């Protein structure tokens, strides 16, 4: 299917408006354990159901992937990817760094994204080749040219199955960053990580994971704002990437070098 992603932005924004109303008017409710230290609330499920139903009516030809219930319809190369409540742990603790992330994927690349952070009263939006906005105003990524001047956010430590092995890379990466960059931050939300890179609040983010519901929207928003987004090997980011690195162009190479170095440290420690 071929389309102009800009034509679907109003529908995507309506969808996240529905989501944000639920998030801001309902209590978390019962918490469902999805694994070791991983959970979903009643609000996660309520948002996913409401957005899925809305998009099924408005764009029946487009598939849908939600974090909580997986693929509930298949499309012809196009698929909505929704994280109904990115930052669930933050939400349950009253931390405002959470919201809805809705991206549109064309085969394996993002072409549209909307992120709404309702407790921060900020909505980010972008469509391919149309630039990125925050609350309707154009935004641009950082132009920082030195790691020493950069604030870099990192993805959460892994939990659940295989967490120990995954964190063998995260720990040395954080150490390497701490010795090189101005400050390291962990926000607990991939949507916040990528949106703030797009807005220039931070200079880069490194997530050693790549779930489409987490990253589809933010990757496109960051790119449209001028950041470079890659896999850990420096190749352009797609839904098949192992990691998600978004950065001001002039510091990307140094960050990739640090991330690759952390992987090597983790490999050596596993052999010992």
| Tens-place pLDDT, residues 10-64 | 999 999 999 999 999 998 877 777 666 666 889 999 999 999 999 999 999 999 9
d(CA 2, CA 234): 28
Are the CB atoms for 61 and 1 separated by under 8 Å?
Answer: yes
**Residue 97 confidence (pLDDT) above 60:** yes
Distance CA 49, CA 126 (A): 24
Distance CA 103, CA 221 (A): 9
* Tens of pLDDT, residues 203-246: 999 999 899 999 999 999 999 999 999 999 999 999 999 999 99
For residue range 123-171, what is the model confidence (pLDDT) as tens digits?
999 999 999 999 999 999 999 999 999 999 999 887 777 777 778 889 9
CA 103 to centroid of chain Cα atoms: 10
Query: Within a 10 A sphere around the Cβ of 39, how many other Cβ atoms?
Result: 15
Reported pTM: 0.93
Residue 181, pLDDT > 50, answer: yes
Give how far Cα 198 sits from Cα of 43, 86, 126, Å. 27, 17, 10
DSSP symbols for 181-201: SSEEE--S-HHHHHHHHHHTS
């Amino acid at each position: 299917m071929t389309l102009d992603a800009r034509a679907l932005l109003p529908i995507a924004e309506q969808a996240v408006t529905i989501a944000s109303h639920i998030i801001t008017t309902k209590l978390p409710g019962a918490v469902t354990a999805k694994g070791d230290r991983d959970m979903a609330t009643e609000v996660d499920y309520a948002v996913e159901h409401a957005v899925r139903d809305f998009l099924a009516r408005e764009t029946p030809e487009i598939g849908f992937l939600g974090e909580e219930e997986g693929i509930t319809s298949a499309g012809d190369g196009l698929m909505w990817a929704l994280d109904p409540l990115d930052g669930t742990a933050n939400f349950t603790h009253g931390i405002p760094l959470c919201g809805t992330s809705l991206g549109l994927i064309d085969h394996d690349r993002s072409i549209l994204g909307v992120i709404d952070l309702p407790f921060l009263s900020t909505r980010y939006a972008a469509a391919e080749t149309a630039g990125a906005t925050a609350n309707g105003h154009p935004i641009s990524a950082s132009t920082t040219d030195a790691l020493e001047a950069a604030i870099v956010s990192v993805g959460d430590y892994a939990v659940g199955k295989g967490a120990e092995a995954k964190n063998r890379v995260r720990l040395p990466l954080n150490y390497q960053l701490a010795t090189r960059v101005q400050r390291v931050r962990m926000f607990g939300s991939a949507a916040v990580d990528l949106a703030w890179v797009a807005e220039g609040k931070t200079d880069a983010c490194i997530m050693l994971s790549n779930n489409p519901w987490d990253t589809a929207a933010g990757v496109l928003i960051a790119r449209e704002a001028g950041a470079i987004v890659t896999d850990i090997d420096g190749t352009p980011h797609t839904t098949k990437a192992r990691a998600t690195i978004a950065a001001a162009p002039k510091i990307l190479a140094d960050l990739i070098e640090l991330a690759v170095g952390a992987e090597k440290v983790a490999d050596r420690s596993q052999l010992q």
